[in-house]
Each structure stands twice: as C-alpha cells, then as structure tokens.
Structure 1
C-alpha cells in the first residue's frame, strides 16, 4: 500500500490539533467530535487551581505552572488517535474514489472498448449518489455538487 500524501497531511494537521485533519478532508462531524473531545478532556483534567491561575495571569501562568502528567498523556493520546483517524479516513476516501472511477461508465468519446464492455452500467440509485462531473459522493437533497459546484438539471 503506497503512502497517501493527503492522508499524511491530514494526519499531521490532526496531530497539531485534533480535528484539523478532519476539517481538511471535509469530514465536518468527525472534526467537531475530535475538537469537542480535546476541549472536554483538557477542561476536565486540568486542576481547578491551574484554571484559576490562568484566569488571573493569562498565558504567563504556564511559565511557572506544571501541567499534570495525566493531562499531557491524555491529550497526546487524543492527538495520536485523531491523526490516525484522519489518515485512514483519507485513505478510505481515496480507495472509494478509485473504485468509483474503475466502475465509471465510459464517455461517448472513450475509445477503450474493453473498459466499456467490462464495466456494468450503474443502477439509477448508484448514479444518483455520485456527481456526473467529478464522480464524488453526493447528498440526495442537494441540487448541486458541493465538491465541484456542478449544477444538476431540475427533476421537474
């Protein structure tokens, strides 16, 4: 399996802060979940004295304060898990795109007869689930592709 550059970038962004890699890959709910989890872990594992000192002194408190080891380990685990999730989601999306491209219906100008005979035509349900312009997955309730902004013909 070859390394996926976008997956590595998504993983690196998620390691910087959990959820950034998911934002990069447009996995909005996953990004929100990772950001919320990181903030909740930081809030609940930070001692009240440190929170009070932070409110009084601001960022200067971190020059003298010691951060608890369990907080450091928990946030490191969250970062590693978020980076792993971002990488594997990206790899899965790339595999889905490659599979969709392999099963794509050839265009009228396509001269490759073997690909035309080898790939079965998709059912109407499958055809409605992908954009005819870029081939990416779509929500059924949209009248345009959020990836390439291709507008669909009205069904009326």
Structure 2
C-alpha cells in the first residue's frame, strides 16, 4: 500500500462505533454529513417520538417498555447497518480501483502531479452518439480533453478538478 492510498476501513469497527454513539461510525468512515445526519435523526427520534417517561426510565437504569423505545432502536439499528454497509462498499471500491490501476499495461499519460488519470468509456466515445465526425469537431487542439481537467484524489479516490489544490469531495490536499 502506498503512502497516499487511503487505508481500508474495518466494517465491524464502524458498526460498533455507530452503536456506541450515533454518527460516530460514519465519522470514522469520514462521511461527515452522514454522521451529522444520523446523529440528528437519532436525537430527534428520542426527543420527538420516544415518550419522556421511557427516556427517564432508561436514564434511571430501569428497563422501559420495549414498545416505547422501539422507534429509537430501529433508527439506531439502521445507522449501524448503514455504517457497516458503507465500510464494506468503500473497501470494495478501493480494491477495484487498486486492482484496475495495478493491472494497466502499456504506455499511459501522466498529469503534472505524476498521476495517471483514468479514461472513462464515455470520454473515449465522445461525439459518437451525435454522429459528429472528426472534421466537424475540429482539430484535436480545439477539443477540450476532460481527462486533463480531472485527477483522481489520492485520499478518497474520486475524480476531482485538477485546477484545485484540494479535493472537492474530501477536502484533503492533492499535493501528496
């Protein structure tokens, strides 16, 4: 694993943290908006849906009727499952990206940071849907190359604007 490659996340740890404190599992995954959303949703459920008497009984250490706290349990369980599934999905995405970049052979173009940009299938087939010919599109210099306008973030792996010094998705510096 290289220095700038994001590390794999442990799904069980994300789930355990989400169970411990709502939103903490998502914060571990660096899904900040989602972490805040789950925290707000669990808190709103406790404040507006669960009866105050049930919350008071939990705080006092007495078990409340399960029907009273069921909505909060459902929301917490959904948060835990969501954190686990996100961690698994993120790990699979990282594995696919690392296997696809490691399997490339032959010459490749690099941008000014030394990274090899990915060429999407839509980029290769640009103009073929409209039936444009090369003569109608003009010389190659006149056609903007979307691959040169984007780089892959070394932290989150998403394509981001190459003119920025930071990733617009994870806000990490692109100067790795």
Cα separation, 2, equivalents of 1:148 and 1:86: 22
The answer to whether structure 1 residue 92 and structure 2 residue 89 are counterparts is: yes
Q: CA deviation at 1:18?
A: 2.1
Higher helix share: 1
Q: Map 1:1-156 to 2 at 5 A.
A: 6-47=10-51, 62-63=59-60, 67-104=64-101, 115-117=104-106, 122-123=118-119, 125=146, 128-131=150-153, 133=154, 136-137=157-158, 139-140=160-161, 142-145=164-167, 149-151=173-175
Query: Structure 2 stretches of 5 or more lacking a match?
Result: 1-7, 109-116, 120-144
| 1:77-103 deviation per Cα after TM superposition (whole angstroms, max 9, x unaligned) | 112111110011111111111111122
Are residues 102 and 19 of structure 1, via their aligned partners in 2, closer, same or farther at CA, if it must alter by over 3 Å? same
User: How many residues in Structure 1 have an aligned counterpart in Structure 2?
Assistant: 132
Stretches of structure 1 that go unaligned for 5 or more consecutive residues are 55-59, 107-113
Cα root mean square deviation, aligned? 3.6
List structure 1 runs of 4+ shifted beyond 4 angstroms.
48-51, 124-127, 145-148
CA pair 65-19 structure 1, distance change in 2 beyond 3 A: same
